[in-house]
Amino acid sequence: MSADEALDEAVILTQALLRIPSVTPDAGEAVAHLQGWLEAKGFRCARPDRNGVPNLFARYGEGRPAFAFNGHLDVVPPGGGWTRDPWGAELEGGRLYGRGAADMKSGVAAFAVAAARFLAATPDFGGSILLTITGDEEGPSVDGTPAILDWMAAQGERPDHCLVGEPTCPARMGEMMKIGRRGSVTFALTARGAQGHAAYPHRARNPIPPLMKLLDRLASEPLDAGTAHFEPSTLSIVTVDVGNPADNVIPAEARAKLNIRFNDAHTADSLHKRIEAAAAEIFPPTGVDLELTRRVSGVSFVTEPGPFTALIRDSVEAATGLRPELSTSGGTSDARYMQAVCPTAEFGLVGATLHKADEWVEAAHVVQLAEIYQAILERYFQSFRAAS
Ligand SMILES: [Zn+2]
């Protein structure tokens, strides 16, 4: 831990944010702190809060292109097992500890500081920098980034490109960025037959065998072999419920749930049809009915590699010596909303401790991330300004 890191503005701002508890969606105080910091740097801020969720939109500049950063200041609850104060922002041995250190107050602080430094060095850059920050990414994520985007659309605000500051590196700084994400959908299956005595099964219609047969078939057949930018889709049976307390009764109903993480070879609709088609071969002869419902948590998307992703890779490689892999792995993030508006990529810190006890990041990485984000802004407004 060098004295320089402790004095770096990105580390200082991260610490200030870490010291404000902001368990989702109660991030109002953290959002207000960042708003004050940005306004002092010359950003014009608006607060498109919705249904109690604090949101922040900050703009600098009027021209095109408009480069947007996206991030969140809410965090998951600390949970047990901490040996540090989750809200203490302790700096020790080069590590910065706190809930949100990795996911993702450091990322937000790094892009805020990077933007402020870029503007101080290049006030006449000609474009616009937009910061979109929410207090609800870890929760339902309904009144967070979607609310900011709704407000932006109503104002005629449109970003040309977006970089999300989520922690994307598994272990080493610079090794991975994300250009897409798999989708996630959960299907609920309810098989309904007719109850009866276990000694007289011909007088009942047992819903369990066709449901088991269907689940086995769905789990046994690969959904795909992967696509250009994605790993194969996966299907997990996450619960099977009958809840029958009697061993001499055939139950009337059996339920199960499947979670599917799907790539760009599928949509929630196509998966729904796939399950219906398999069920149509199994259920009709049994006289058992199947009800199928679904809840979509995120669609799959990919930003095709091109000049924008190359610019980010080049900037990361110049700083870290590692050329980041273009990945589509992991769970969902607010990139799923931003990508509907403009080409979107994600790059940030090492996320090894996110959502864990004693969450920490290397303070030196926070400093480096701000430098990388600043370099991305410099390259972006040099190369995309002429093209816009
Ligand atoms: Zn996050």
Look up the CATH number of the domain holding residue 262.
3.30.70.360
Residue closest to 145 by CA, chosen among 367, 335, 277: 335
3-state class (DSSP) for residue 264: coil
What radius of gyration do the chain's Cα atoms show?
24
Please indicate, yes or no, if residue 73 is contained in any of the structural domains. yes
Residue closest to 148 by CA, chosen among 163, 130, 165, 166: 130
Q: State residue 269's pLDDT score.
A: 97
Look at the chain and report how many structural domains it folds into.
Answer: 2
Q: State residue 49's pLDDT score.
A: 98
Which residue, 280, 298, 316, sits at the end of a domain?
A: 298
Please indicate, yes or no, if residue 284 is contained in any of the structural domains. yes
39 CA from centroid of ligand 1 (Å): 24
Quick one: 192 and 160 in the same domain? no
Which residue, 275, 298, 321, sits at the end of a domain?
A: 298
In the predicted model, what is the mean pLDDT of residues 325-354?
94
Quick one: 33 and 154 in the same domain? yes
Q: Which of 5, 49, 74, 166 is catalytic?
A: 74
160 CA from centroid of ligand 1 (Å): 22
Please indicate, yes or no, if residue 388 is contained in any of the structural domains. no
pLDDT band per the 50, 70, 90 thresholds, residue 386:
low
153 CA from centroid of ligand 1 (Å): 24
77 CA from centroid of ligand 1 (Å): 13
74 among known catalytic residues: yes
Most confident range, picked from 1-5, 161-165, 229-233: 161-165
Quick one: 222 and 161 in the same domain? no
Q: Which of 137, 138, 334, 346 is catalytic?
A: 137
Q: State residue 331's pLDDT score.
A: 80
Gap between the Cα atoms of 22 and 136, Å rounded: 10
Quick one: 174 and 27 in the same domain? yes
% of the chain at pLDDT higher than 90 = 94
165 CA from centroid of ligand 1 (Å): 8
In the predicted model, what is the mean pLDDT of residues 168-182?
96
Please indicate, yes or no, if residue 37 is contained in any of the structural domains. yes
244 CA from centroid of ligand 1 (Å): 40
Q: Across all residues in the chain, what is the average pLDDT?
A: 95
Quick one: 210 and 65 in the same domain? no
Gap between the Cα atoms of 386 and 91, Å rounded: 43
What does the pLDDT look like over 36-83, one tens digit per residue?
999 999 999 999 999 999 999 999 999 999 999 999 999 999 999 999
Quick one: 267 and 312 in the same domain? no
What does the pLDDT look like over 238-276, one tens digit per residue?
999 999 999 999 999 999 999 999 999 999 999 999 999
Quick one: 234 and 97 in the same domain? no
Which CATH number belongs to the domain containing residue 160 in this structure? 3.40.630.10
In the predicted model, what is the mean pLDDT of residues 195-210?
97
User: What is the domain range of residue 262?
Assistant: 183-298
